[in-house]
């Protein structure tokens, strides 16, 4: 069962993004207060803010960590039309002793003419590459040719997606069988503009990214998108936050060696949940892509898990303020009372009470027990 | 607010009271459900809150607008604007004190009757009440009344009005002389007092927005616009005003009043209400007609420095309090982001909080962090034992636990790995026993098979039976019976090997299952043992096992009944026994008992009842097939079963596929389903026939598993895995990572040491304690020039380091082995990659315990702080 603890974040405005580093020992948050904060986990499991600085001149939408083999590197993007790369350095002063670290701006990427809505580092096997997407519908891929010099980034690709982009996600698969691939989501709410999730794939021959697929069934605004950690699976899994939570499976068809076009993907919808009963804002996968967390405008965080038959189920609901969900309903608005217009006294009857959707309140994951190796005391015979 | 169209007003001073006005005024108190549940007549507004109707006032018909008196006293004083332009002061359910009594019932009557559109109390000088009226020829449309003024018997009051009012009101309470008259020859649709200066009144007139100054009523500032409805000042930013026209909201900055600073995206339906959130900076809620959503605009007034033309940041979102259409809404004056919503019909009320959008992220160790508003929540698994044992653990948690318990590392008693994995997964149990039997067979030197026997063993039963040759058929007697059985049994070397892989028989040429049966009995698997005995045509032994099972502690007495039925076996085709057994066997719950009767009642060669009973372990079905299916039938059955297993990703199928490409296919389905790359990596390493390890999928699983261990900071486990892997797959050994070269000749200082077995890897052994056979070397073996000196002890490198230098803290009593390990490391040559100063590792470590800067004079390098990952502690160190 999961228990939520509040942390005094001390941001002066809404926090827009939370991001863990590779090891889960560091965390970065960004906010409308134009700042980014870096948090370190102490040995006793407490989080301490070790850096806080103004990063942009507008709301900071997203923050993300590079793989630690490139150093302690963060990227942020903002409404001020820029993305920035930050690196932690050991300063000249004794900052370490005060428990604060120094982050300096290595570069500002100013190519976008509109708000930069998402920023993501490419999987580490591709080198140090950074992707941004912006409200004018352009995805930009930058590369740092020299990982020792983070102030030089060259714009490698500029891909126009035609629709205002809200989110981007790299396929993390490092398998050589899978060419580099990313998905981009659009928050354009006009359902007539077609699919709001596009998938692009790198083509070795043309050395360009080409559209491999558009998920036409996702016609509503998409707020977040997340490729699941591949973990050596033969297919890719994509979670989408739109008016509901959706999980898609993208199965690459075996490619003939002669064909040079993008990989044909067989798109299957694995799950679709409208339990949030409202717009879904974010989705996030755990490290083995066996647990999915989603948040929605109902103010709840929901956890999803698949069984062996690949059936996804909700295994936990928590309110946004960390309190457990009380009552049988997950919808704060699900209960309504119809009162006749001829109310004269306070003794009216309640009718039309509609019971809300029954929210399953199940503790969703096993406790992390003290890890001890099982005692093999009795010698089992070697027969089975 | 005509008739059915309701509106809501929160009390300015009581956070738990609000008024709904449609055809009448209703005062409600809001409270927690628990408190008011016992009382009759409470209306649930949400799961936690309910409203109680306190009072109803239907004295004022033809209501058009209502405004709540802003001061504490008298509370619950409301101004109601009527369709005829009159403004009436009224009250709801209050004990009337003197001031209130004086005010309630007071009427303010304009010169000409026309609709009153809007009312606004002055927030500071609360005696002033502004009313906006429709146009009447050249008359004024904005009237500011002083509620404390007395009745003025002016002649200008038309006789009609006196007649109207004299019906139910004493004339002393009628005021006809406004304090100010503004907006001549115009109509006023909306009004609000400016918070930055209470003498200023903003009015939405017919075609313009006008600001009137009460100090100089002849002057007005105005701007021509259509957006003149619903003017409202941002309570957090007094220069910001919102107004609307049809479906479009305009945001104004009073300092730059010429044009709207912003217009919000147009809605298809006309707007009916626009309201700033009183608890959040720059949050505007809008509602259109016939809509069930409230649209929110989060405005951030931070200007961007790029250019003047930039617009402020707006985060737009919509919320849906409920399914039906919304009549009106009102923000709660103090609760964060809370509002009460009333439906367009039937006055259904809902207490509703607009939740902040939550962003979230999983850490690599399965804890969830989310941000809601300005707060962070760290969601971790709590350590409550037992409660969740019913719920299956996530594979990430399982893999972490298994890594800790050295799962996969037992290379001798391979089957024990399933116990290391927790011992609860039947598929893993089957897998590790398969691999154990394969290993046993491969190691068995007695085994005489042509070709490379190792690869045959690991190629799985599917490939073994394909090449079967020299099959002999025998018809054995039932043990303990003289009768000749007509069941043909097949023998060959390959079938024998298959039975061994199934675990039914152990080494040796004769087929003897007795050892296996005894182990099953020991495990109390009575039914299974009995079935195995029966398949070996030993019906007496089968019955004996069942009896044993029935009499054993906690045994099932029904087993005796089964034994009884078994003993009646007859091979007469048309006997009653046969007929009853073949129909009743399906009701037996235990699959092994079921297949026993299936075997006895089926025709020779037609054993589908046994072969396709999916709850019987694959190994038992395969062993059965190897004994009773002919050369024609057997490969077909095995192929079919193999494909079934591959499809399902069932690890029991590894018995059939072995560690071949087929096996990788099967494992791929298993990984696709479970994500268990740990089992995949370890089991594929076990086989050690090189080709499966070269399969890119296997390499991919191994890389992913190593990456997981790294992310969990299980670096020691990762290193152990690499060592394990290097033993089984020598090609995976990494090359030398570093060597030290001499400053003078440039040769590796270990390269020229011919005694070194591994070129380029010897630097770690360079210290004295590394290899006792070597003499102490403090100079380059190539050019005999001295090696650099340690920055601290100033000895040439390669000199043995004195124990516990400087500090002399010999009281630290570590255990001997640990001290030895550390002492060896102390001799290592370390240096900083940044400043390239260095020395003995032990000296350097003790220096940096107390210092941050490099020990070399004049060097300010903070050598120890350069690498953040280096400061992380592995989470699996003991």
pLDDT tens per residue across span B3-38? 457 889 898 888 888 998 888 888 888 888 765 455
- pLDDT at position B802 over 60: no
Q: Tell me the pLDDT band of B510, cut-offs 50, 70 and 90.
A: low
Q: What is the pLDDT of residue A121?
A: 97
Residues of A in contact with B380 (CB under 8 A): 2-3, 5, 45
Listed in sequence order, the residues at least 6 apart from A344 whose beta carbon sits closer than 8 Å to its beta carbon are B56
Task: Give pLDDT tens digits for B567-606.
Answer: 877 767 777 888 888 788 888 888 888 888 888 888 777 8
Q: Touching check for B361 and chain A: CB below 8 Å?
A: yes
Task: Give pLDDT tens digits for A287-311.
Answer: 998 899 999 988 889 999 887 778 8
Task: Give pLDDT tens digits for B634-650.
Answer: 889 999 999 999 999 99
Distance between CA atoms of residues B760 and B565, nearest Å: 75
Q: What is the pLDDT of residue B665?
A: 92
Task: Give pLDDT tens digits for A66-84.
Answer: 999 898 999 999 988 999 9
Phi and psi at residue A86, to the nearest 5°: -125, 145
- pLDDT at position B308 over 60: no
Q: What is the pLDDT of residue B759?
A: 38
A232, A290, A344 member nearest B396 (Cβ): A290
Q: What is the pLDDT of residue A199?
A: 95
Three-class DSSP category at A177: coil
Task: Give pLDDT tens digits for B458-488.
Answer: 888 888 888 767 777 777 666 655 555 667 8
Three-class DSSP category at B635: helix
Q: What is the pLDDT of residue A339?
A: 27
Nearest to A292, CA basis, from A319, A320, A322, A314:
A314
Q: Touching check for B694 and chain A: CB below 8 Å?
A: no
The mean pLDDT value for B326-331 works out to 91
The mean pLDDT value for B552-575 works out to 78
List b or e across A189-200, with b for residues whose CB sees 16 or more CB atoms inside 10 angstroms: beeeebbbbbbb
Q: Tell me the pLDDT band of B804, cut-offs 50, 70 and 90.
A: very low
Distance between CA atoms of residues B11 and B20, nearest Å: 11
Q: Touching check for B776 and chain A: CB below 8 Å?
A: no
Mean pLDDT of chain B: 79
- pLDDT at position B810 over 90: no
Q: H or E element: which one contains B225?
A: none
Task: Give pLDDT tens digits for B832-861.
Answer: 878 888 888 888 888 888 888 888 888 888
CB contact under 8 A, A299 and B708: no
Residues of B in contact with A9 (CB under 8 A): 371, 374-376
Task: Give pLDDT tens digits for A197-209.
Answer: 999 999 988 999 9
Q: Which of A120-134, A143-157, B386-400, B430-444 bottoms out in mean pLDDT, i.e. has the lowest?
A: B386-400
Mean pLDDT of chain A: 80
Mutate to test the interface with B, among A288, A319, A352, A356 (most CBs of B within 10 A): A288
Q: What is the pLDDT of residue A198?
A: 95
List b or e across B793-824, with b for residues whose CB sees 16 or more CB atoms inside 10 angstroms: bebebbbebeeebeeeeeeeeeeeeeeeeebb
- pLDDT at position A360 over 50: no
Distance between CA atoms of residues A219 and A191, nearest Å: 5
Instruction: List helix spans (H) across B585-714.
Output: 591-601, 608-611, 618-628, 633-648, 654-657, 661-674, 677-687, 690-694, 696-711
Q: What is the pLDDT of residue A304?
A: 92
Task: Give pLDDT tens digits for B110-168.
Answer: 888 899 999 999 988 888 999 999 988 888 899 999 888 765 544 444 444 444 444 44
Distance between CA atoms of residues B403 and A371, nearest Å: 10
DSSP tag of B863: G
- Interface ipTM: 0.84
The mean pLDDT value for B99-113 works out to 82
The mean pLDDT value for B619-634 works out to 88
The mean pLDDT value for B245-252 works out to 90
CA of B420 vs chain A CAs: smallest distance (Å) = 6
CB contact under 8 A, B379 and A90: no
CB contact under 8 A, A341 and B22: yes
The residues that bridge with B568 in the sheet, in sequence order, are none
Q: Tell me the pLDDT band of A101, cut-offs 50, 70 and 90.
A: confident
B348, B374, B389 member nearest A339 (Cβ): B348
Would strands B25-32 and B49-57 be described as parallel, antiparallel, or unpaired? antiparallel
CA of B764 vs chain A CAs: smallest distance (Å) = 24
The mean pLDDT value for A96-110 works out to 79
CA of B31 vs chain A CAs: smallest distance (Å) = 15
Nearest to A34, CA basis, from A55, A48, A49, A17:
A55
Residue A150, Ramachandran bin (φ over 0: left; ψ between -120 and 50: alpha; else beta): alpha
Listed in sequence order, the residues at least 6 apart from A314 whose beta carbon sits closer than 8 Å to its beta carbon are A273, A275, A302, A303, A304, A359, A360, A362
Q: What is the pLDDT of residue A344?
A: 31
The mean pLDDT value for A25-35 works out to 92
- pLDDT at position B632 over 70: yes
CB contact under 8 A, B41 and A31: no
- pLDDT at position A284 over 90: yes
Q: What is the pLDDT of residue B485?
A: 61
A23, A47, A364 member nearest B711 (Cβ): A23
What is the distance of C-alpha B429 from the center of its chain?
A: 31
CB contact under 8 A, A299 and B852: no
Q: Tell me the pLDDT band of B322, cut-offs 50, 70 and 90.
A: confident
Of all residues in chain B, what percent carry a pLDDT higher than 90? 16
Q: Which of B23-32, B701-710, B769-778 bottoms out in mean pLDDT, i.e. has the lowest?
A: B769-778
Reported pTM: 0.80
CB contact under 8 A, B368 and A284: yes
DSSP tag of A45: S
CB contact under 8 A, B44 and A365: no
Contact B376, B685 (CB under 8 A): no
Contact B542, B592 (CB under 8 A): no
- pLDDT at position B617 over 50: yes
Cα angle vertex B581, ends B580, B585, to 5°?
A: 120
Q: In 3-state terms, chain A is what percent helix, strand and coil (to 5)?
A: 5, 45, 50
CA of B776 vs chain A CAs: smallest distance (Å) = 37
Contact A203, A254 (CB under 8 A): no
Residues of B in contact with A234 (CB under 8 A): 668, 671-672, 697
The mean pLDDT value for B209-214 works out to 91
Task: Give pLDDT tens digits for B652-696.
Answer: 999 998 888 889 999 999 999 889 999 999 988 876 566 788 888
Q: What is the pLDDT of residue B167?
A: 41
CB contact under 8 A, B302 and A345: no
The mean pLDDT value for B82-109 works out to 79
The mean pLDDT value for B227-254 works out to 90
Residue B114 to residues B62, B84, B187: CA-CA distances in angstroms? 12, 5, 10
Q: What is the pLDDT of residue B237?
A: 86
Distance between CA atoms of residues B92 and B102, nearest Å: 15
CA of A130 vs chain B CAs: smallest distance (Å) = 19
- pLDDT at position B826 over 80: no
Domain boundaries along the sequence of chain A? 14-91+101-160
CB contact under 8 A, B388 and A59: no
- pLDDT at position B339 over 70: yes
Is domain A14-91+101-160 classified as CATH 2.40.40.20? no
């Amino acid at each position: 069962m999961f228990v939520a603890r509040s942390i005094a974040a001390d941001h002066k405005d809404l926090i827009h993004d939370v991001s863990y580093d590779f090891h889960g020992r560091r965390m970065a948050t960004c906010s409308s207060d134009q700042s980014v904060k870096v948090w370190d986990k102490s040995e006793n499991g407490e989080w301490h803010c070790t850096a806080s600085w103004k990063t942009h001149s507008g709301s900071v939408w997203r923050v993300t960590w590079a793989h630690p083999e490139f150093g302690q590197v963060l990227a942020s993007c903002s409404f001020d039309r820029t993305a920035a790369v930050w690196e932690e350095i050991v300063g000249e002063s004794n900052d370490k002793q005060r428990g604060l670290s120094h982050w300096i701006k290595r570069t500002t990427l100013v190519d976008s003419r509109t708000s930069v809505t998402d920023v993501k580092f490419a999987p580490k096997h591709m080198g140090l590459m950074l992707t941004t997407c912006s409200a004018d519908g352009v995805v930009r891929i930058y590369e740092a040719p020299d990982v020792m010099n983070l102030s030089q980034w060259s714009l490698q690709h500029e891909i126009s997606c035609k629709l205002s982009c809200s989110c981007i996600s790299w396929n993390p698969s490092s398998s050589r069988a899978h060419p580099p691939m990313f998905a981009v989501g659009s928050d354009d709410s006009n359902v007539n503009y077609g699919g709001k999730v596009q998938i692009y794939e790198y083509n070795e021959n043309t050395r360009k990214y080409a559209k491999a697929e558009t998920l036409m069934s996702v016609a509503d605004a998409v707020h977040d998108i997340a490729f699941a950690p591949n973990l050596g699976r033969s297919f890719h899994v994509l979670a989408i936050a739109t008016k509901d939570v959706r999980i898609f499976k993208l199965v690459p068809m075996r490619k003939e060696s002669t064909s040079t076009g993008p990989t044909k993907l067989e798109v299957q919808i694995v799950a679709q949940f409208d339990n949030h009963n409202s717009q879904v804002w974010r989705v996030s996968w755990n490290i083995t892509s066996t647990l999915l967390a989603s948040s929605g405008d109902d103010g709840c965080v929901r956890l999803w898990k698949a069984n062996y038959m690949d059936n996804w189920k909700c295994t936990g609901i928590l309110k946004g303020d960390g309190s457990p969900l009380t009552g049988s309903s997950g919808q704060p608005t699900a209960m309504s009372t119809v009162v006749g217009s001829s109310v004269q006294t306070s003794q009216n009857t309640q009718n039309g009470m509609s019971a809300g959707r029954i929210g399953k309140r199940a503790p969703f994951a096993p406790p992390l027990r003290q890890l001890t190796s099982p005692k093999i005391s009795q010698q089992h015979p070697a027969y089975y | 607010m005509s008739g059915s169209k309701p509106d809501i007003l929160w009390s300015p001073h009581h956070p738990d009271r609000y008024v709904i006005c449609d055809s009448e005024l209703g005062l409600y108190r809001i409270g927690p459900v628990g408190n008011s549940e016992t009382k009759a007549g409470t209306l649930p507004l949400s799961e936690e809150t309910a409203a109680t109707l306190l009072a109803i006032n239907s004295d004022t018909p033809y209501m058009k607008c209502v405004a709540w008196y802003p001061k504490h006293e008298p509370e619950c004083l409301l101004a109601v604007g009527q369709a005829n332009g009159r403004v009436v002061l009224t009250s709801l359910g209050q004990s009337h004190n003197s001031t209130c009594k004086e005010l309630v019932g007071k009427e303010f009557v304009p010169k000409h009757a026309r609709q009153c559109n809007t009312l606004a109390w002055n927030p500071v000088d609360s005696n002033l009440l502004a009313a906006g009226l429709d146009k009447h020829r050249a008359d004024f449309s904005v009237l500011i009344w002083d509620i404390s003024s007395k009745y003025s018997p002016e002649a200008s009051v038309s006789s009609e009005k006196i007649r109207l009012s004299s019906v139910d009101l004493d004339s002393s309470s009628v005021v006809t002389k406004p304090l100010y008259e503004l907006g001549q020859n115009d109509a006023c649709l909306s009004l609000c007092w400016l918070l930055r200066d209470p003498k200023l009144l903003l009015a939405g007139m017919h075609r313009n927005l006008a600001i009137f100054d009460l100090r100089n009523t002849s002057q007005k500032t105005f701007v021509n616009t259509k957006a003149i409805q619903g003017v409202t000042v941002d309570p957090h930013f007094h220069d910001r005003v919102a107004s609307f026209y049809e479906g479009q909201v305009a945001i104004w900055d009073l300092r730059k009043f010429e044009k709207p600073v912003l217009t919000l995206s147009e809605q298809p339906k006309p707007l009916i209400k626009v309201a700033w959130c009183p608890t959040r900076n720059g949050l505007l809620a809008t509602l259109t007609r016939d809509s069930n959503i409230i649209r929110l605009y989060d405005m951030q007034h931070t200007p961007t420095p790029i250019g003047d033309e930039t617009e402020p940041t707006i985060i737009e979102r919509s919320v849906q309090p409920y399914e039906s259409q919304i009549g009106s809404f009102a923000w709660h004056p103090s609760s964060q982001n809370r509002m009460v919503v009333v439906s367009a019909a039937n006055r259904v009320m809902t207490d509703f909080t607009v939740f902040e959008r939550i962003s979230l992220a999983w850490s690599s160790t399965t804890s969830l962090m989310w941000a809601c508003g300005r707060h962070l929540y760290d969601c971790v698994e709590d350590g409550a034992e037992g409660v969740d044992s019913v719920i299956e653990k996530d594979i990430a948690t399982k893999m972490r636990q298994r890594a800790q318990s050295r799962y996969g590392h037992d290379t001798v008693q391979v089957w024990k790995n399933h116990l290391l994995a927790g011992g609860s997964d039947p598929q893993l149990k089957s897998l590790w026993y398969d691999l154990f039997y394969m290993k046993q067979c491969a190691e068995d030197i007695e085994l005489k098979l042509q070709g490379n026997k190792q690869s045959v063993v690991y190629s799985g039963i599917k490939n073994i039976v394909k090449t079967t040759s020299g099959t002999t058929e025998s018809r054995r007697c039932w043990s303990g019976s003289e009768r000749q059985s007509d069941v043909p049994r097949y023998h060959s070397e390959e079938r024998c090997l298959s039975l061994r892989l199934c675990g039914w028989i152990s080494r040796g040429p004769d087929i003897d299952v007795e050892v296996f049966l005894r182990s099953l009995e020991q495990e109390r698997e009575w039914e299974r043992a009995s079935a195995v005995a029966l398949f070996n045509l030993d019906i007496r032994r089968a019955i004996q096992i069942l009896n044993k099972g029935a009499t054993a502690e906690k045994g099932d007495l029904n087993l005796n009944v089964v034994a009884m039925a078994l003993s009646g076996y007859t091979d007469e085709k048309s006997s009653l026994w046969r007929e009853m057994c073949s129909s009743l066997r399906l009701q037996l719950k235990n699959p092994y008992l079921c297949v026993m009767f299936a075997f006895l009642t089926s025709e020779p060669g037609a054993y589908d009842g046994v072969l396709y009973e999916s709850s019987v372990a694959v190994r038992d079905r395969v062993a059965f097939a190897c004994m009773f299916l002919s050369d024609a039938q057997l490969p077909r059955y095995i192929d079919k079963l193999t494909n079934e297993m591959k499809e399902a990703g069932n690890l029991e199928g590894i018995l059939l596929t072995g560690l071949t490409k087929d096996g990788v296919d099967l494992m791929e389905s298993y990984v696709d389903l479970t994500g268990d790359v740990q089992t995949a990596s370890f089991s594929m390493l076990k086989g050690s026939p090189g080709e499966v390890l070269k399969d890119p999928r296997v390499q991919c699983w191994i890389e992913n598993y190593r990456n997981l261990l790294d992310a969990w900071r299980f670096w020691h486990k990762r290193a152990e895995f690499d060592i394990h892997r290097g033993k089984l797959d020598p090609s995976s050994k990494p090359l030398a990572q570093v060597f030290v070269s001499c400053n003078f000749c440039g040769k590796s200082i270990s390269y020229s040491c011919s005694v070194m077995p591994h070129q380029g890897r010897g630097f770690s052994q360079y210290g004295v304690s590394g290899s006792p056979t070597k003499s102490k070397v403090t100079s380059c073996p190539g050019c005999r020039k001295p090696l650099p000196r340690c920055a601290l002890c100033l000895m040439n490198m390669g000199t043995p380091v004195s124990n516990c230098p400087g500090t002399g803290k010999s009281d630290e009593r570590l255990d001997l082995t640990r001290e030895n390990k550390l002492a060896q490391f102390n001799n290592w040559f370390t240096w900083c990659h940044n400043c390239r100063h260095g020395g003995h590792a032990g000296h350097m470590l003790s220096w940096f315990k107390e210092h941050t800067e490099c020990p070399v004079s004049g060097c300010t390098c903070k050598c120890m702080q350069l690498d953040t990952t280096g400061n992380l502690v592995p989470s699996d160190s003991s």
